Each structure stands twice: as C-alpha cells, then as structure tokens.
Amino acid sequence: MKHYKILTLLAVTLIVTVGLFVFFKPDQVVASTQNGSTQKSNRFNSSDQSESNFPRDNLNISKQELETAKKETVLFHEIQDNDLKNSEALPLSKGNKGMAVNYNQNIIETKNIGDVVKFQMLEYGLNRSGKIVEIEKLDDDILRWRGEFEQGIPERNYFTITQSQKDQYTIIQIYSDKGNYTAEIKNGQGIVQVMDQGVEDKEVHAHDH
C-alpha cells in the first residue's frame, strides 16, 4: 500500500511537471521567434551592427579575402582599355566607351550602414567619399546599397550599387553636381560611363544570367 501511494505521488508529480512545461514552452518559443524576427527586420536599418555581421549571410570567401575587403574602401580602380578582358560580357554598356575599371565585389559586400566607400574617377574629375545610408534586399540574390556623398546636397549627390553575387554582376549609379554616371561590371571588370550613355540599375534584373 505504501509503495502504491509513492508510485501514485510520482505519477502525479510527473503529470504536473509535463503540464507546466507544455504550458510555458510555447510562450518562450514565440518570444524567441519574435526577437529573432525583430533583429532580422532591423538588419538593414541599423548602423549599430557587429563587425562580423554583413548584409549577405553567405559571402563564401576565404578569411584572407574577407579581411582585405573589409579594410578596402575604394570601390574600383581605373585600368587601360586594352586590359579590359570581358567587354563582350557587358552588353548594356553602350559602345564600350568610358573608363575601364577593375572591381572587387567583396568590398561593398562587407559594408554596412554607416560605412564609408570611395569613388576615384579622375577621368571625370570626380574623387569623392560617401556613406552607406540604406541596404535593400531585392530578392534572394540581389542587394542594393544606397549612399550619400559627403560633399553637396544629399538629394542630388548620392549613389546606388545593385549587385548579384551569384552572377558577379553589378550596376552602379552615381549622381553628383559634377555629373551623373553609371557603371556596368561583370566578373571583376567593367566600364564607367556618363549617365546618358550607361545603364540603369533595374537592368540587373533583366541581365541574361
């Protein structure tokens, strides 16, 4: 009889314990999910991000490449026209006329809101720094960074960088009081042109992958 009471007491205790766990567990899961959703939704809106947290989750580059890209701020470097090896991969650039450049797509991939990048376009008399103010995820692959130049009225002096990591394809638009420019870049090389010769960033969606 004594053993029966002990077993009964243990059974009741177990049932109560399981009941409490089931009762309180959903609230904890919901709270955790809500916190995670909040952090995710603020990801591209907060400049207070950790150093290791980048706009894209899957950069898929080596540690050395990552460290190099994080330190670099100049987005592209001018090259000689005959060093441009992929002009056939730039169907949207009109006549391949403009400033040929080398471009490391990992540089912008490591930049968050509040970070500064530089445009050195001496051929066009433009040498400016700008701060990233917005990052937008257009789809599972394409991201768009928007920044404002430190010089001039922000509404008229800004830039956008729309980039597909999968296709290594980038469209850059630059607006300034010195002129407006676009760049089409594929596989690390591209052409910078004045705006009426170039392309729009929406072309990245229509690009033949």
Q: What is the pLDDT of residue 206?
A: 55
More confident residue, 196 or 65: 65
* Residue 190 to residue 196: CA distance in whole angstroms: 17
Average pLDDT over residues 116-133: 95
Q: Is the pLDDT of residue 159 over 90?
A: yes
With b for 16 or more beta-carbon neighbours within 10 A and e for fewer, the 50-64 pattern comes to: eeeebbeeeeeeeee
| 26, part of any domain | no
Q: What is the pTM of this model?
A: 0.70
Q: What is the pLDDT of residue 97?
A: 81
**CA-only gyration radius of the chain, Å:** 26
Least confident of 79-88, 125-134, 137-146: 79-88
Q: What is the pLDDT of residue 204?
A: 53
* Residue 114 to residue 1: CA distance in whole angstroms: 73
More confident residue, 91 or 176: 176
* Residue 35 to residue 30: CA distance in whole angstroms: 9
Q: What is the pLDDT of residue 198?
A: 45
Q: Is the pLDDT of residue 190 over 60?
A: yes
**What does pLDDT average to over the chain?**
77
Q: Tens digits of per-residue pLDDT, 10-40?
A: 444 444 443 433 343 333 322 332 344 333 4
Task: DSSP letter for 178, please.
Answer: T
Q: What is the pLDDT of residue 34?
A: 36
**Which residue range is the domain that position 167 belongs to?**
63-206
The count of domains in the chain is 1
Average pLDDT over residues 53-70: 89
More confident residue, 175 or 14: 175
Average pLDDT over residues 67-94: 86
Q: Is the pLDDT of residue 205 over 60?
A: no
Give residue 196's pLDDT band: very low, low, confident or very high (50, 70, 90): confident
Q: Give the C-alpha distances (Å, rounded to integers) separating 67 from 7, 64, 70, 144.
A: 63, 5, 5, 22
Q: Give the residue from 196, 141, 195, 148 showing the smallest Cα distance to 169.
A: 141
Q: What is the pLDDT of residue 201?
A: 55
* Residue 104 to residue 143: CA distance in whole angstroms: 15
Q: Is the pLDDT of residue 42 over 70?
A: no
Q: What is the pLDDT of residue 57?
A: 80
